[in-house]
A and B are shown apart, each in its own frame.
Chain A
Amino acid sequence: MINKSILNPSLETPIQRGLRDVTIKRLFILPTIILLILINIFPLFYSLFLSFNDYSALKSLQWGVNPKWVGGKNYLDVLTDPNWWESFVTTAKYVILAVSGEMIVGFLLALLLNREFKGKGIITTLILIPMMMSPVIVGLFWTLIYNANWGIFNYLLGLGQTNWTGDPKLNLYAIVIVDVWQWSPFVMLLSLAGLSAIPKYLYEAAEIDRASAWFKFWKITFPLVSPLLLIALIFRTMEAFKIFDIAMGITGGGSSAPMLLSIELYKLSFVRWYTGRSCAVAYIMLILIIAISSIYIKYLNKARA
């Protein structure tokens, strides 16, 4: 091994024992790359291929018949399907409600907690717990709270017998509330990080100039915290768009479930087995997610400049 190292000058270090750097580099990096390509990239292309076919994974495989090439028909069918547009609108409504809720509650909490006091560590720990729970289980135990007859949600707020989980008109809002409950801490943590990084002397300087609290907020606090807020916004929007677990926990995915994109996709592919068409739906969702995050990121770069 040493002989080869001396002769070949392209290696990192000229003389060494043991495995060469290049070997280690490849040995360390390659397995991960291969795993990711197998489980992420290959299925991505397979899915693309299937989206151009009329295929049902439930029926037996017969090339030419099942799957059968239909070009862009699946995409056309989806984009002209009023049901799909309804689920899109429902999901958009959900995203707007949930993300605004999380951002507002999280940011307010951060503003309130942005000072030194005893027990700050305990509160930070406690507030971290909801985020670390399995969303489906969170949805499930909230059904105990939301129960129309004996749940404490109705009881403590005096709402009578409102059926939060079973009524299709209401359960979207039920899911929003759970999502805000679970994820506002995320926004709060990021905002706190941003807020505590703002140097105190900026505020002191503003106070010398007798600036109002309003002025201090808009000219100092908000601009310096906004990059982190934007990260939180982007991340939560992408996640809210894909919402599945909490909704399944609360509604069980049955007929009373709201028409959210992920749930409809689940039903289409694993209940009705329209495999080809569901791949097309999945790709449309992917394009939407990429588009939304690109817009945000572009805005983030502009805001930074």
Chain B
Amino acid sequence: MAIRENTRKRVGLIISLIIVLAILIIYLIPIYWVVVSSIKPMTEVQTIPPKLWGFKPTIYSYVRTFTDRMILPPGEKIPPPEELAKLHWWERMSYVDGNMKVLKVSGLPSRLLNSVIIGIISTILAVTLGTLTAYGFSRFRVAGEGDWLFFILSTRMLPAVVVIIPLYLMFRTLKLADTHLGLILLYTCFNVSFAVWLMKGFIDEIPREYEEAALVDGYTRFEAFRKIVLPQASTGIAATVVFCFITAWNEYAFALIMTTKRAETAPPFIPSQIGVGGVDWGAIAASTLIFLLPVVILTVFLRRHLLRGITFGAIRK
């Protein structure tokens, strides 16, 4: 009996591992295809039937996504080798691989920069406000505490649909539309409720005895907060920072509606690159990957921190 059961367990284990592997493959194939599409030569991106391997990789797609080029006008020709050698490598590549000349940098870098700036500043603001508020609720008695916390959490649950129209009108009136400040304000607001909720969980776990001892020793309340609670909450703060940044980085709907050119972030910009006169799918694949890279890196290195946030505290490992 025991031997049979061991074999049964072994077989079960192997089957589940096979299924897990199969599912992993299903999850990774889309990513593989996008990566591969971004490093294929321009002519091989849209081959019928699709080529999964066996092409010569090139980073021309990445060059294309960062530059605006134009096809050489009928009179002009590709410069001779001596002149080509003097140009930048990407200009050379455009001439040789694509028969195009580089005009200027595309809109992508400025959008990415906007995403970075707006993401970082709104995250810092949201986590700061969130930590302070969480400390306030955690350590002090507040009249109607339950109601206040419910209010704060419910703003997170509020569907964007209801507020987006009036917010757009308000921003337009206040001249905040299409400004970095406007979007920063907005993202701070989204993230602050989540930050309060997350940080309260972390701060509640820190024993009060340390602060009380410090107060007896003559620390002010604020000093106790700064020197005792904050260091102990640093993992929690890291988790909240990562989560808030990723939320701001990925945000699409409000960025789409509130911004047009100046403060436009990457998510509304990248899909808009699907032009009418033929789509450059390799470049789209490239810009997609560039945008996804920071998030993937953050996820891989800060997995533990994210797990707690996204499952609303259900997983604490």
CB of B221 within 8 A of CB of A43, answer no
Nearest CB in chain A: distance from B163 CB, A:
4
CB of A150 within 8 A of CB of B46, answer yes
Stretch at the interface among B64-72, B80-88, B103-111, B267-275: B267-275
A115 to B12, CA, bound (A): 11
A12 to B285, CA, bound (A): 59
Specify which of B137, B225, B257, B270 is in contact with A137 (CB 8 Å cutoff).
B270
CB of A12 within 8 A of CB of B189, answer no
Chain B residues 78-98 with CB under 8 Å of chain A are none
CB of B129 within 8 A of CB of A50, answer no
Is the C-beta of B146 less than 8 angstroms from some C-beta in chain A?
A: no
Is the C-beta of A96 less than 8 angstroms from some C-beta in chain B?
A: no
CB of B220 within 8 A of CB of A19, answer yes
Closest to B170 in A: A43
Nearest CB in chain A: distance from B103 CB, A:
25
Is the C-beta of B152 less than 8 angstroms from some C-beta in chain A?
A: yes
Q: Is the interface of A mostly helix, strand, loop or mixed?
A: helix
List of A residues within 8 angstroms of B13 by Cβ: 115, 117
CB of A282 within 8 A of CB of B162, answer yes
Is the C-beta of A262 less than 8 angstroms from some C-beta in chain B?
A: yes
CB of B165 within 8 A of CB of A50, answer yes
Nearest CB in chain A: distance from B210 CB, A:
15
Is the C-beta of A205 less than 8 angstroms from some C-beta in chain B?
A: no
List of A residues within 8 angstroms of B163 by Cβ: 39-40, 43-44, 47
A32 to B131, CA, bound (A): 10
Chain A residues 116-147 with CB under 8 Å of chain B are 117, 121, 123-137, 140-142, 144-145, 147
Question: 1/0 contact trace for A238-262 toward B, CB 8 Å?
Answer: 1000101100110010000000001
Chain B residues 259-317 with CB under 8 Å of chain A are 267-268, 270-271, 274, 281, 284-285, 288, 291-292, 295-296, 298-300, 303, 306-307, 310-312, 314-315
Interface size on B (CB < 8 Å)?
96
Is the C-beta of A16 less than 8 angstroms from some C-beta in chain B?
A: yes
Closest to A49 in B: B166
Question: 1/0 contact trace for A55-70 toward B, CB 8 Å?
Answer: 0010000000000000
Is the C-beta of B181 less than 8 angstroms from some C-beta in chain A?
A: no
Nearest CB in chain B: distance from A197 CB, A:
10
The answer to whether residues A16 and B37 also contact, given A144-B285, A248-B252, A283-B162 and a CB cut-off of 8 A, is no
List of A residues within 8 angstroms of B162 by Cβ: 43-44, 47, 282-283, 285-286
List of A residues within 8 angstroms of B160 by Cβ: 242
Question: 1/0 contact trace for A199-234 toward B, CB 8 Å?
Answer: 000000000000000000000000000001001000
The answer to whether residues A39 and B167 also contact, given A18-B222, A126-B24, A134-B250 and a CB cut-off of 8 A, is yes
CB of A28 within 8 A of CB of B315, answer no
CB of B196 within 8 A of CB of A32, answer yes
List of B residues within 8 angstroms of A40 by Cβ: 155, 158, 163, 189
CB of B307 within 8 A of CB of A128, answer yes
Is the C-beta of B207 less than 8 angstroms from some C-beta in chain A?
A: no
Question: 1/0 contact trace for B134-156 toward A, CB 8 Å?
Answer: 01110011100000100110010
Closest to B23 in A: A109
A286 to B161, CA, bound (A): 8
A245 to B270, CA, bound (A): 13
CB of B252 within 8 A of CB of A245, answer yes
The answer to whether residues A17 and B288 also contact, given A39-B185, A137-B267 and a CB cut-off of 8 A, is no
Specify which of A13, A44, A140 is in contact with B270 (CB 8 Å cutoff).
A140
A21 to B34, CA, bound (A): 55
Is the C-beta of B50 less than 8 angstroms from some C-beta in chain A?
A: yes
List of B residues within 8 angstroms of A112 by Cβ: 16, 19-20
Is the C-beta of A305 less than 8 angstroms from some C-beta in chain B?
A: no
Nearest CB in chain A: distance from B257 CB, A:
6
Closest to A111 in B: B16
CB of A135 within 8 A of CB of B250, answer yes
The answer to whether residues A32 and B218 also contact, given A18-B223, A25-B142 and a CB cut-off of 8 A, is no
Specify which of B225, B246, B314 is in contact with A132 (CB 8 Å cutoff).
B246
Is the C-beta of A7 less than 8 angstroms from some C-beta in chain B?
A: no
List of A residues within 8 angstroms of B170 by Cβ: 42-43, 46
Q: 15 additional contacts, CB 8 Å, given A36-B151, A40-B158, A282-B164?
A: A28-B135, A33-B133, A126-B27, A128-B310, A132-B250, A133-B295, A140-B270, A140-B284, A144-B33, A149-B48, A150-B50, A186-B310, A231-B314, A252-B274, A262-B161
Q: Name 21 interchain pairs, CB-CB below 8 A, sorted by A.
A: A19-B222, A27-B132, A28-B133, A35-B188, A39-B186, A39-B189, A43-B170, A44-B158, A44-B163, A47-B162, A50-B165, A115-B13, A132-B250, A132-B295, A134-B292, A140-B270, A140-B284, A150-B50, A156-B29, A190-B315, A192-B315
